[in-house]
Amino acid sequence: QLALVESGGGLVQSGGSLRLSCAASGFTYTMGWFRQAPGKEREEVSCISDGGRRIIYADSVKGRFTISRDESRNMVFLQMNSLKPEDRAVYYCAADITPVCGTSQEYHNWGQGTQVTVSS
């Protein structure tokens, strides 16, 4: 069981940028970012495997968001550029000790979420 803590959310104007961070309490093979907007289902934004062997982005964020990780610190980051009002959501960090990025398997470890609000 892993503890995950997200940070970096906040309020930003349309077109602005935010950088989300997530720290895990131990080793993770896969780390990812999900988001859930009011009245919508949870959506997978991006995921990254150990060593960057696999990186996936949702079509809605491709070209605007970049995922990266610092494995020595058990951390993952999400650089969000050109933010749009549609990006407003609670963003959750997720992690798993297995290679679940790009599969339908569920993550077994979740953070509490950090709010991202984009104003027009």
Please write the tens of the pLDDT for every residue from 61-110: 999 999 999 999 999 999 999 999 999 999 999 999 999 999 989 999 99
The pLDDT of residue 6 is above 90: yes
User: Model confidence over 27-51: pLDDT tens digits?
Assistant: 999 999 999 999 999 999 999 999 9
DSSP letters for 5-28 = EEE--EEEETT--EEEEEEESS--
Average pLDDT over residues 6-26: 98
